[in-house]
Amino acid sequence: MNGKVHIMLDKDYTVGPIGSRLYSTFVEHLGRCIYGGIYEPGHPQADAQGFREDVRALVKELHFGALRYPGGNFVSGYNWRDGIGPRAERPVRLDYAWSSLEPNEIGIDEFSDYAKSVGSEVMYAVNMGTGTPQEAGYLVEYANFPSGTFYSDLRIKNGHRDPHNIKLWCVGNEMDGAWQTCHLDAPDYGKKALEAAKIMKWVDPSIELAVCGSASSWQPSYPEWDRVVLEYTYDKVDYISLHRYYENLGNELDFLASFHEMDGFIKTVAAAADYVKALKRSKRTMMLSFDEWNIWYQAKTRLKQWEFAPPILEDNYSLLDAVVFGGLLCTLINNADRVRIACLAQMVNVIAPIFTETGGRAIRQTIFYPFAMAAQYCTGTALKVFSKAPVLESAAYGEVSSIASAAAYDEGRGELAILCVNISGETQSLELDLRSFGRVRWIEHRIMDGDLSAVNTFDAPDRVIPRSLAVPADALSMPEVPLPPKSFHLMRFKGEHPC
Ligand code: AHR
């Protein structure tokens, strides 16, 4: 074994609470995410509303806190009224964002029902491109106002007596992006978002708003955009958004070190927000909504012209992608004090953990597993990870740690969960120091390692799955743990007596 890695955890040294919203996702009217993904009326497994039960079962395994909907770039040219009322009367529209045909068979009412059926809340993005602040207000009225007004009564007429009670709203999507329908510069967006936020909160003061931050850390306007937008909106919004996708551009170590870049992005946006907090003499700290993150081979994306549900952005993830993905999960958990919402983009087919055949099977992609493990076990409180590990020299980021790691202690369950990713090309030996936890019992150690190019397909759906390693039966024994090259790990422990 080459490197020695040391991790020390103390249950009194915490980062912050891990809410279910840290494990959220994103469902856009894009490609086969909805049509042919979650919804396919003719499919043998479709329910009465046309939602696929096989897909729903996989969605439930991922324990998503919130489902962000309906876009994405799509939303900046979308009229939400096209998606309500009798299906036969809904218009087919041109979706400018993805050059597709939008049948509008799914809208806010059906999607809210779907989210409820998988135990998640909706995070709804309003249109700040072609849309207006008043339209955003009407939409909040339609979704959340009890009754007795034009839009609340319209919702009731459309079959939903009870309000949807959507608490989380995005004030637009990636408005800094030149690709966005009716893209704006920072002062123009800041003013528009402020007016939309005022109306939306007048209609329902209990809602929480996420304003558009930078669409990526590579945007030329980053991080100035974030500062300017917050100077306009700070007092009226609750979160600033971050979006970031990573891909292997040829240098494998740079790709493996993506978690390091993500951490810097989060810290920079938090610093911009804290600057505005000081400027405004505000007592309120702005939280972050990392509402799009994943691995996406953007360079390979090819759009089709004006088709219904075209198979676009359908990346097939390898084990290497899953290992990198595990590092990104660690960074999100380590920043749980500021990042309160994080949406894996997206949920089905479109750069997603779940992949379907139209009319056929549904499988788990490699990235499904690290997410499912984190969402199920990294709950409770994020702990500070004190780690010592050899450093590596990345061409893109300079010196980076050879491991990514995160830890969560769930007091209710009396369980400690540790995620660890070895990004080096060598086996490293991990020594754990769990000091304040006293006597603990290993519950399990799951690992993903092996052929980094391996992928899951319909014919070999279990080619890449986690395997369990033997753990010591003796509660007191804490052996060194070998971390094979470029591997992902989940280690779980139970307190043997109150710590
Ligand atoms: O998730 C795919 C696209 O990525 C979203 O529509 C957009 O917000 C981002 O650029």
In tens digits, the chain (499 residues) has pLDDT values of 578 999 999 999 999 999 999 999 999 999 999 999 999 999 999 999 999 999 999 999 999 999 999 999 999 999 999 999 999 999 999 999 999 999 999 999 999 999 999 999 999 999 999 999 999 999 999 999 999 999 999 999 999 999 999 999 999 999 999 999 999 999 999 999 999 999 999 999 999 999 999 999 999 999 999 999 999 999 999 999 999 999 999 999 999 999 999 999 999 999 999 999 999 999 999 999 999 999 999 988 889 899 999 999 999 999 999 999 999 999 999 999 999 999 999 999 999 999 999 999 999 999 999 999 999 999 999 999 999 999 999 999 999 999 999 999 999 999 999 999 999 999 999 999 998 888 889 999 999 999 999 999 999 999 999 999 999 887 666 778 999 999 999 999 998 754 4
Residue 402 Cα to ligand 1 middle (Å):
30
Determine the atom of ligand 1 nearest the C-alpha atom of 98. 6
Looking at residue 75, what is its pLDDT?
98
Residue type, 360: G
Looking at residue 499, what is its pLDDT? Answer: 43
- Distance, in Å, from the CA atom of 359 to the CA atom of 43, rounded to the nearest integer, reads 5
Nearest atom of ligand 1 to the alpha carbon of 71: 6
Handedness of CA 276, 277, 282, 284 (dihedral sign): positive
Residue whose pair of structure tokens reads 């945007």 in the numeric block: 219
- Residues comprising the chain, all counted: 499
Question: What atom of ligand 1 comes closest to residue 30's alpha carbon?
Answer: 6
Q: Which residues are catalytic?
A: 174, 292
Give the closest residue (by CA) to ligand 1 atom 7.
72
Q: Is 346 in the pocket of ligand 1 (CB under 6 A)?
A: yes
Specify the residue with its C-alpha closest to ligand 1, atom 5: 72
* Ligand 1 touching residue 331 (CB < 6 A): no
CA 70 – ligand 1 centroid, Å? 11
In the reported structure, the alpha carbon of residue 69 is separated from the centroid of ligand 1 by a whole-number distance in angstroms of 12
Q: How far does residue 208's CA lie from ligand 1's centre (Å)?
A: 22
Query: How far, in Å, CA of 153 to CA of 155, rounded?
Result: 5
Specify the CATH number of the domain 3-10+384-495.
2.60.40.1180
Residue with tokens 């949807």: 164
292 Cβ inside 6 Å of ligand 1: yes
Distance 206 CA to ligand 1 centre (A): 28
Q: What is the largest CA-CA distance in the chain?
A: 70
The reply to whether ligand 1 has any atom less than 6 angstroms from the CB of 72 is yes
Buried b (16+ CB within 10 A) or exposed e, 300-315: eeeeeeeeebbebbbb
Residue nearest to atom 8 of ligand 1 (CA): 72
Q: Does residue 129 have its Cβ closer than 6 Å to ligand 1?
A: no
pLDDT in the model for residue 1 = 54
Ligand 1 and 100: CB distance under 6 A: no
Nearest CA to ligand 1 atom 2: 72
Pocket of ligand 1, candidates 243, 347, 350: which has the most ligand atoms within 8 Å of its Cβ, to mutate?
243
Q: Where are the domains of the chain?
A: 3-10+384-495, 19-378
Considering the four listed CATH numbers 3.90.1200.10, 3.20.20.80, 3.30.70.270, 3.30.930.10, the one that applies to the domain covering 19-378 is 3.20.20.80
Q: 325 with 295: CB under 8 angstroms? A: yes
